[in-house]
Amino acid sequence: MKLTEAQLKEIRNYLLAGPRYQETYNEIYDHIVNTLEDTEGEYDIDLVAQIIEEDFCSFPEIVLQEEIYKKQINKKYASQLWQEALNTFKFPEVFNNLLLVLMYGLLYRPAVHGDMISKIMYPSIWILSSTPALFYLGKRYFIDRNFLKTSIKYDFLHKTWILGLLQIQLFGYLFVSKHSPFNLSPESRYQFVFLVYFLTSIYVRAFIKFYNKKISVLAV
């Protein structure tokens, strides 16, 4: 049967009550339209319900499968993000890390003997560690603003930026900030702040690479 635009819209609206994520919504919608186009006879919305029932069992079953899929995707993304972090130690990415080490030596004196740590380095860690949040918010609320459903990718992005930010800020608070509960010498404080800066830099660079490769594309 050939479906009209009004009928397609009816199918899209019907499916809104089913899948929770944009990716599965699109896939099931495409599947149903293909099935209907290969079916002889008159269109009826009950046919859609029948296809869901026969081919996908039910809407709750689809949601259940989506949760399994989301866990699998999160696991895959975690491993890919970790791989990107490890890649920063490989050629040619390693040069960025070496540059940071060089910076460590160059900034040692002004940082230890001045107030560079609290005025420049600590705020820059704050800004740097917030970058993944900007990517997430930009993707979810600007780039994907026309999506009917939320993307299955958001869960991983959301968890990653919150976890990354919290870990970095906690580490920074404990060892770097003025309110640190530990009484550290300026030299130790500088070494800690630099370690936090180094790890944050790796995390943010890995996140951006991962985002460009896996998140900014349409497919999961």
Partner 1 sequence: MAVNNELFKGTLQTIILNLLAEHHRMYGYEITQKVKAITQGELLLKEGALYPALHKLEAEGLLETSTEVVDNRLRKYYSLSQEGEKEVVNKLQEARDFIQNLQLLLNLKPSF
C-alpha span between 146 and 140 (Å, rounded): 10
140 is a site residue for partner 1 (CB under 8 A): no
Contacting residue, 1, 7, 31, 177, with partner 1 by CB under 8 A: 31
Binding mask 34-53 for partner 1 (x = CB under 8 A): xx--x---------------
Q: With CB under 8 A, what is the number of residues at the site for partner 1?
A: 26
Footprint (CB under 8 A) of partner 1, residues 69-88: 69, 72-73, 75-76
Q: Pick the piece of the chain touching partner 1 (CB under 8 A) from 54-62, 120-128, 171-179, 182-190.
A: 54-62
Give the C-alpha distances (Å, rounded to integers) separating 119 from 7, 48, 91, 122, 178: 61, 62, 33, 7, 11
Least distance (Å) between residue 50 CB and partner 1: 13
- Of the candidates 45, 42, 37, the one whose C-alpha atom is nearest the C-alpha of residue 14 is 45
Q: Pick the piece of the chain touching partner 1 (CB under 8 A) from 32-40, 95-103, 121-129, 198-206.
A: 32-40
55 is a site residue for partner 1 (CB under 8 A): yes
Is the bond leading into 92 cis (omega within 30 degrees of zero)?
yes
Least distance (Å) between residue 130 CB and partner 1: 29
Contacting residue, 61, 67, 115, 187, with partner 1 by CB under 8 A: 61
168 is a site residue for partner 1 (CB under 8 A): no
Q: Pick the piece of the chain touching partner 1 (CB under 8 A) from 62-70, 156-164, 177-185, 188-196.
A: 62-70
C-alpha span between 144 and 130 (Å, rounded): 20
C-alpha span between 33 and 55 (Å, rounded): 13
- Of the candidates 13, 12, 11, the one whose C-alpha atom is nearest the C-alpha of residue 44 is 11
User: Using CB under 8 A as the criterion, which residues of the chain lie in contact with partner 1 when the complex forms?
Assistant: 23-24, 26-27, 29-31, 33-35, 38, 55-57, 61, 65, 68-69, 72-73, 75-76, 217-220
